[in-house]
Structure 1
Amino acid sequence: MTNFAGLAVGLLIITAAAGYGDFLGRLLKTGLQAGATGLALRIAVGLVFLGWMMFWLLLAGSTSAIWFAGLLLPGILCATLQWRILVHDLGSDLQGIWPLLAIAMVLFAVDMLAASMPVFDADSNAYHFALPLQFLARGELFLIPRAVDGAAPLLFQAFYALPLQLGGEFAMLATAKLIVWVLVLLIYGVARPLCGRWMAGALALIFLTMPAVIYGLSAGQVETRIALLTFAAAALIFSMRENPTIGRAVLTGLLCGGVAAAKFTGLLYAAAAGLMLVAVLRRPSWIAAAAVAGLIAGGQWYGWLWLETGTPLFPMFAGPPYWGASHAAEFSQRILQSEAVLPGDFIGLITYPYHVFMATNPGFEADRTGLGPALFALLPISLVAAIRWCRQGTLRSAANWSEAARLGLIFSGIVLLFYILWWFFGASQRVRHLVPVIPLVMLILGVAAHRACQSRPACALLGLVLLLSAGIQAGGWAFFHRATAGYIISGSDRAAALQQDLLDYDAIQWMAENFTDDDLLVLMERRNNFYLGQPFYRISSDMERLVSNGQNDTDPRRFLSDLTALGATHILFHLIDNPAFSVRDDGNGSVLVLYEDVDSLGVEGSGIGRFHQLVMKLLRDGCGKIVHLSRTQRKMSRTLAQSSAVDEMVIIVRLVEDGCAYPAAFDDDPVRRGHTDWTGQPRLKLPGW
């Protein structure tokens, strides 16, 4: 499928979302406004509805293009019938800022060009895009009992299956990017009445060029998409001070439910927004209606997890066969503790913004996926407005609140509540996990800074701050899109780009030519999963236990039994050259020759973990045969086009019973194959593949 057709699919999905959002708004008599704000709010609501429907379609096994097209048609029809209302006032909202619109058009065009590139982002290859591909290949939703990125609420991963089925990879990437552009429109729409067109446009573009947003926008990171739902919910709560209706309360609950359905930390935002909704409305029946809407919109994922794993918050409270005490200890030590750079106490809560701004620890990922300088540059100017409001008594009585002060108080309440909950209950301190509330922070500081400028010198200072911030972030944007420029200049040769930058490209090509429909690959590598053309299961020493390869698992017999129970036939793993072993050709193929005991090889920096040791033991004991050997270059960041790389061997091992030292391990039935995308049939062919 051509890129134009893929983009058309993405636009049709956004159109359907707008139609469904408008229908729900009319049904609930919300009285949503027209213009940029109203259009973006309707799309946000419609996206939650589409994601909700995708859960049920995937669960029912209704994954054909006919079902998905049928899901879109009513929404497109609603949008077509109401298109005058949907776009009413949109043109007038955008008048007078043509230079900013021109910049936005350039950024949008580059984004769409970037969508034509193969996906090299590790997280997107591992699960954001790999999961919808596996669901479609299997023809249904199924449980992958892996913590964090498998057994979790997957609203957007399920939603991505919609454009992937209808338009292929480009349609999926384009749709993911369009969602963020809807957020940009919403930021502009909410800010415009409070601080003017130019300031609103500047804030929207500055948000778009934040490093964390650029990074998330490049592929399937859900935080930047969740931000649309969080900001839309906050905007509706803000609007209910002047125009309270039960319909808006229900839509707020629906959006908060969507946030919870997208990620476990969405529960924290739902709690924060819910508390602010209580403070704003003080109407128990309306609040109850919002809670029910949230439960309907997000509860299905938690109910499904509960039925499948025994707990709605996997791996918390989980037990056999998917979890155990030893795995919980390793998960806590190697994942949760490693993500907690600062102590989770009150001092850490207060000092975290400083550490993020100064990038004092690489664990924050504040250098390449940080927030940029704009927020910190706007902070002192916005404090002037806050001090002025306090001196004038503006904040003493709700009757005296200006719209700007009201927005600042409501948004600040949501942000602070979420930040406190996230700090004490969140699993990771990476700053990009705060992206869902960054648009709220941007509006708080931007609107306050605008209100603080009541003289020409002050306005000039604010303009200089915005210009410098935009310039710095534009440089980061240009650096990030070096890879996009190189791809376009080289003629958009997709095969060449994959060959150059896809980890394990040669191995993947070999598997495509040699694997049968009965084969199942097991691997630990996560950077190539989206491009695997055969059924696979990605294991982890920390986040799953179907295959025993944790720190205390040294028995290759049990390892092989677990692989057999999974239905595995092949293993892919990487090795770094090491004097303790060699891989050489003995005339009958490649063999592993050991010069030291396998258990002594797992030292820091060797690239050998427990998984590698266990696979090497299978080779040593005659239970595996090397059927493919190639080499690859592991770059620090392919997304950022960093050139430093580590040379590694890529080895594919076929499990063999003949000659195995423990053949009884092959007697186990593949009882856990249901947690893979194996069907015994050729994989579904998607558009453009």
Structure 2
Amino acid sequence: MVGLYRPDVAVVTLSIGLGLAGLAFGRARVSLRLADRPDDLFTRLAFASVVLPVTLAAVAALAPPTAKDTLQYHIALPKAWLAVGALVDVPYNIPGLRALGAEMSGVWGMLLGRLLSPRAGEAAFGAAMFAYFPLLLAVVHGWARERGLGRGPALTAAALVASAPVAWEVAGASYVDLALALYVVLAFRAAARWSTGGGRAALAELALALGFALSVKPLAAAALVLLALLVLLRARRAHGQRDGARLATAGVAALALGVLIGSPWYLRTWLLTGSPLFPFFPGLWPGEALGWDETRAVLFQAFNAQYGGDPKGPLDYLLLPVRLALMGRRDVPLEWESVCGPAFLAGTPLVALALWRRQLDAELGIAAAGGAWLFAWWALSAQVLRYLLPATALWALVVAGAAAALADNARVLSRALLMATLGGQLVILAWFVGDDPLRVALGTEPRDAYLTRRLDYYPYYRLINETLPTDATVWLIDVRRDTYHLERPYVGDYLFEDYTLRRWVAEAGSAAELRARARAAGITHLLVRHDVLFDPARSVLVDDSRPDAENRARLARARAFLVDEARVLRADQKFLLAALP
């Protein structure tokens, strides 16, 4: 906000971070001594099951970004901020009005990388966002070791997370959900330590982890609810009313401090929109922003409801764990937009049995409660699979702990769990081979060639960047509004990308009126996906409640505006780029 997004500031920030890391390692008295005995085959396989997905995700993260949300805001917003050197509001970019704490890591990475080249800055952003993946796995492994699990079973817990295709996809796509999972797991670890007798240090860790989680996404509020309940339960178990009041005060103060740490993002949202919850819960606390209105808020709720299928009945919720294990498809909202794999379902009976026999210690019990609570919250809200990552990380720890508690030899069940991760590993490998990010990451494939085969509209973006004048303004219609790779001014609706066109076509009496509206908005060119727009069976311009003649007239007006009376610069069976006369 004060113009400090500069390379020199990034270098100073990195130096401070490295210095603090050195102090932390020094205080921890890290020892690099060898293990008392060499790892057996099982432990080495568990280690390989962690290293393989992490390595493949690292390669994917270094490739030019192609993931939808990343191109819309995760990296598009930092690019806009660095262009002016400050955190600014980007018009029409609705996610830019929400918490964006994790993206800040990518901002500093991009600044440092740009000291070498723009491509290096892009790769550095991906590397910074990828770093949350190995950090999360290290926390899961470390917590498992703290609970007495051997190296092999602890690595199995990490492998359960690493082998989930959704985790690999998020790590390589520069999404922020692994950052949220990391901080939520750290918050539950701190709460578990405090609940089992920990002191002020655990409360300090709880406050920091909760604050950082809230700064990543509002979804952290789900964890806050259970963390508050854990604080009250610890206070209730205290010896005496005075001791209980003291514990309750300390716990609530830690949670309040965590909320305070995460609050600047929500205060910013409040100032910009009139609601700290924007764009969620419009009925509870409505907000306003350029490019957003009440109708789109209702459409947004319906959009989120489609994940996992809509409508959902009792049987759908009952079978949800089984469906998650056996189904799931990449980029298909009805099937959660990604893949979880069968490993977590295979481990769930072990957790149930260990809980029934009371063989899980208190900390693992709290982790189990956290995982179950976050799963229930997710099931009743937007079932986007990557939002489930905090629960999966906690559940992986509990599954490994249950396997160790139930078997005389912890390695027996851990081996079975490790075998269950094979399906996820194969899916990850198939996705990696299909995406083929290795060549571009190594520099043997040109960036434009990689983006052309990954993004079907990219040749049009390249044409816009290379041929249109710098003062041209392009209206993006049904092309995902992925603005990171676009180097010209643009307008476009977020998420509902044909909303304005649909409204204008319904209100306007002719193509000339549509053209006048576009010109008044400063639009000079149009990039539209026309194959769906002009198909009467699929077009959003067709209103089934209106007469057929009116719908045909709407399609004719739109075609005249976009094609017949515009100068077509390039077109194919799917996209069209035209200049307004």
Same fold, TM-score > 0.5, yes or no:
yes
- Conserved 8 A contact 1:575-1:607: no
**1:263 maps to amino acid:** K
- Conserved 8 A contact 2:473-2:490: yes
- Pick the aligned partner of 2:536 from 598, 603, 628: 603
- Conserved 8 A contact 2:159-2:418: no
C-alpha change, 1:294 and 1:92, in structure 2 (3 Å) is farther
C-alpha change, 1:550 and 1:164, in structure 2 (3 Å) is farther
CA displacement at 1:203 relative to structure 2: 1.6
Instruction: Please give the alpha-carbon distance, in whole angstroms, between the structure 1 residues aligned to 2:558 and 2:77.
Output: 25
**1:365 and 2:321 are equivalent in the alignment:** no
Instruction: Please give the alpha-carbon distance, in whole angstroms, between the structure 1 residues aligned to 2:523 and 2:33.
Output: 57
- Conserved 8 A contact 1:504-1:528: no
- Conserved 8 A contact 1:625-1:655: yes
TM-score for the superposition, normalised by structure 2: 0.81
- Pick the aligned partner of 2:110 from 137, 142, 164: 164
Instruction: Please give the alpha-carbon distance, in whole angstroms, between the structure 1 residues aligned to 2:87 and 2:513.
Output: 29
Tell me the residue number matched to 1:84: 26
SS in 2 for 1:88: coil
SS in 2 for 1:311: coil
C-alpha change, 1:380 and 1:321, in structure 2 (3 Å) is closer
Instruction: Please give the alpha-carbon distance, in whole angstroms, between the structure 2 residues aligned to 1:615 and 1:94.
Output: 74
- Pick the aligned partner of 2:309 from 341, 351, 376: 341
Instruction: Please give the alpha-carbon distance, in whole angstroms, between the structure 1 residues aligned to 2:262 and 2:19.
Output: 26
Tell me the residue number matched to 1:470: 421
C-alpha change, 1:364 and 1:573, in structure 2 (3 Å) is closer
Instruction: Please give the alpha-carbon distance, in whole angstroms, between the structure 1 residues aligned to 2:251 and 2:555.
Output: 53
Tell me the residue number matched to 1:665: none
CA displacement at 1:107 relative to structure 2: 4.3
Decide which moves more: 146-155 or 443-452: 146-155
CA displacement at 1:290 relative to structure 2: 1.6
Task: Give per-residue Cα distances to partners, 1:186-238, cap 9 Å, x unaligned.
Answer: 11100123321100012212310111112112212222221111111111112
1:266-665 equivalent positions in 2, closer than 5 A: 266-280=220-234, 283-315=247-279, 316=282, 317-319=286-288, 323-333=292-302, 335-339=303-307, 341=309, 349-359=317-327, 363-365=333-335, 369-389=338-358, 404-424=360-380, 426=381, 428-454=382-408, 460=412, 462-483=413-434, 487-488=438-439, 491-524=444-477, 525-526=479-480, 528-540=482-494, 542=496, 547=500, 549-550=502-503, 553-555=506-508, 563=518, 567-576=522-531, 601=534, 603-605=536-538, 616-619=559-562, 622=565, 624-626=566-568, 628-631=569-572, 647-649=573-575, 651-656=576-581
- Conserved 8 A contact 2:196-2:362: no
C-alpha change, 1:148 and 1:614, in structure 2 (3 Å) is farther
- Conserved 8 A contact 2:165-2:340: yes
Decide which moves more: 347-356 or 73-82: 347-356
Task: Give per-residue Cα distances to partners, 1:52-75, cap 9 Å, x unaligned.
Answer: xxxxxxx22322212222323222
Instruction: Please give the alpha-carbon distance, in whole angstroms, between the structure 1 residues aligned to 2:49 and 2:326.
Output: 29
- Conserved 8 A contact 1:602-1:613: no
**1:255 and 2:209 are equivalent in the alignment:** yes
**1:570 maps to amino acid:** H
- Conserved 8 A contact 1:554-1:614: no
SS in 1 for 2:567: strand
- Conserved 8 A contact 2:570-2:578: no
Tell me the residue number matched to 1:33: none
- Conserved 8 A contact 1:356-1:370: yes
Instruction: Please give the alpha-carbon distance, in whole angstroms, between the structure 1 residues aligned to 2:470 and 2:272.
Output: 27
- Conserved 8 A contact 2:78-2:107: yes
Tell me the residue number matched to 2:62: 116
Instruction: Please give the alpha-carbon distance, in whole angstroms, between the structure 2 residues aligned to 1:612 and 1:276.
Output: 58
Unaligned runs of 5+ in 2: 114-120, 236-243, 544-553
SS in 1 for 2:357: helix
- Conserved 8 A contact 2:325-2:344: no
Tell me the residue number matched to 2:101: 155
Task: Give per-residue Cα distances to partners, 1:650-686, cap 9 Å, x unaligned.
Answer: x223344xxxxxxxxxxxxxxxxxxxxxxxxxxxxxx
C-alpha change, 1:302 and 1:612, in structure 2 (3 Å) is farther
Instruction: Please give the alpha-carbon distance, in whole angstroms, between the structure 2 residues aligned to 1:319 and 1:517.
Output: 31
CA displacement at 1:550 relative to structure 2: 4.8
**1:654 maps to amino acid:** A
Instruction: Please give the alpha-carbon distance, in whole angstroms, between the structure 1 residues aligned to 2:20 and 2:289.
Output: 47
1:4-23 equivalent positions in 2, closer than 5 A: none
- Conserved 8 A contact 1:629-1:652: yes
Instruction: Please give the alpha-carbon distance, in whole angstroms, between the structure 1 residues aligned to 2:261 and 2:557.
Output: 43
- Conserved 8 A contact 1:147-1:314: no
Decide which moves more: 511-520 or 104-113: 104-113
Tell me the residue number matched to 2:549: none
Task: Give per-residue Cα distances to partners, 1:250-270, cap 9 Å, x unaligned.
Answer: 331232222222223222222
Q: Percent identity?
A: 20
C-alpha change, 1:95 and 1:284, in structure 2 (3 Å) is farther
SS in 1 for 2:174: coil
**2:256 maps to amino acid:** V
Tell me the residue number matched to 1:663: none
- Conserved 8 A contact 2:471-2:488: no
TM-score for the superposition, normalised by structure 1: 0.69
SS in 2 for 1:195: coil
SS in 2 for 1:534: coil
Decide which moves more: 343-352 or 239-248: 343-352
**2:255 maps to amino acid:** A
Unaligned runs of 5+ in 1: 1-58, 395-403, 579-597, 632-646, 657-689
C-alpha change, 1:539 and 1:568, in structure 2 (3 Å) is same
Instruction: Please give the alpha-carbon distance, in whole angstroms, between the structure 1 residues aligned to 2:299 and 2:344.
Output: 37
- Conserved 8 A contact 1:224-1:435: yes
SS in 2 for 1:572: strand
- Pick the aligned partner of 2:180 from 217, 220, 226: 226
SS in 1 for 2:97: coil
How many residues align structurally?
537
Instruction: Please give the alpha-carbon distance, in whole angstroms, between the structure 2 residues aligned to 1:251 and 1:436.
Output: 17
Instruction: Please give the alpha-carbon distance, in whole angstroms, between the structure 1 residues aligned to 2:483 and 2:558.
Output: 20
Decide which moves more: 134-143 or 144-153: 144-153
C-alpha change, 1:417 and 1:472, in structure 2 (3 Å) is closer
C-alpha change, 1:276 and 1:543, in structure 2 (3 Å) is farther
C-alpha change, 1:570 and 1:552, in structure 2 (3 Å) is closer
